[in-house]
Amino acid sequence: MNVFSHPEFDNHEHLSIFCDPETGLKAIVAIHSTSRGPALGGCRMYPYASDEQALRDVLRLSRGMTYKSALANLDLGGGKSVIIGDPRKHKTEALLESMGRFLEQLGGQYIAAEDSGTSVSDLKVIGRQTTHVAGIKDHLGLDGVPSNGDPSPATAYGTYIGICMAVRHRLGRSDLQGLEVAIQGIGNVGYRLARHLKEAGAKLWVYDIHKDQMDRAVDELGATPVSAEEILALPVDVLAPCALGAVLNDSSIPRIQAKVVAGAANNQLERPEHDAALQKRGILYAPDFAINAGGIIDVFYERTNHDHHKVRAHVETIGTTLDEIFTRARSEGLPTGTIANRLAEERFRRSSADHQQSTSAMAKVG
């Protein structure tokens, strides 16, 4: 695998590859930046078709975490880990404990949290072998209801807040009554997002690769099930990608009829230039690393002094951040993703400069 010349390599600070034949573990950890703090990001398990696909994913995801934490004004860096394997077939406690030993070797440079293909219970198993896990402590969730540490409710709520702001900017609406939304991916986050939207009066269309998850949305939320081919091209107001990344690409963008794309999935753009392609078609795109930051906010507060009131208030600033992104994009005539990148870079580079000044001052005192 090429690393330094890889198109997704962005001056990442660290990359580790781990293989444990005894448990079948094959994993990669990528740390993009620690300029704002330790690199925190999810541990994903997925049956990648190739090692190259896994490497591409972890490089993209880790960079996205740097930008996500910066936009959310968190003192965290960006990192991610991927385990190559089908979570429904290959996941075992022995494999997860082996992952924990792997993470422990990194000495806290990277802190793992829940992601696609892993759960809070999985992270607790990983945590038997390392202290460098997050999102596993019982606490009051942002809605005041007891939580086991699962950040999905915060991610879903933040995405909902972001959709409300996008609808206000693109459709000129302050309510969601009768709003038509297509949700691709109806797992932990997608289902909770669907529930928020349903409670606000929206009409839902859903698709998921797992039929049981789609059936739940149909039975409990009155959603309309559609096929994988239909979900992206429906004539709805909002398209909410909540599955895996690269869904916005040369093939899908010309077929999108929604006026807003705003969902919880990471790395929705297959390539950076697809941001401009959406803008050209008059589609307002809510940059994924801005709108889906609720989970990392929740995990951050778990590691400090968790207060569900503060968590909720912080998650709601996602709307404020998107308001700034949309406003600047319109005034400057640039794609929203370009503006979001600039805003994130302003924040983490400023933080890095502040850190260097602080370190220099301490050295002089010493």
Q: Where are the alpha helices (DSSP H) in the chain?
A: 51-71, 93-105, 120-126, 152-171, 188-199, 211-221, 228-231, 274-280, 288-291, 294-303, 308-332, 336-365
Burial 226-251 (b: 16+ CB within 10 A, else e): beeeebbbbebbbbbbbbbbbbbeee
For residue 143, give both structure tokens: 């809605």
For residue 251, give both structure tokens: 């093939």
**Distances in whole angstroms, Cα of residue 302 to Cα of each of 63, 148, 159, 297, 308:** 22, 11, 20, 9, 10
**Distances in whole angstroms, Cα of residue 316 to Cα of each of 97, 284, 298:** 36, 20, 12
Residue 89 catalytic? no
Would you tell me how many other CB atoms lie within 10 Å of the CB of residue 111?
25
CA distance 167 to 165: 5
Q: 26, 80, 198, 203: which one is catalytic?
A: 80
Q: Which of 136, 9, 130 is nearest to 62 (CA)?
A: 9
For residue 276, give both structure tokens: 């401009």
Active-site positions read 80
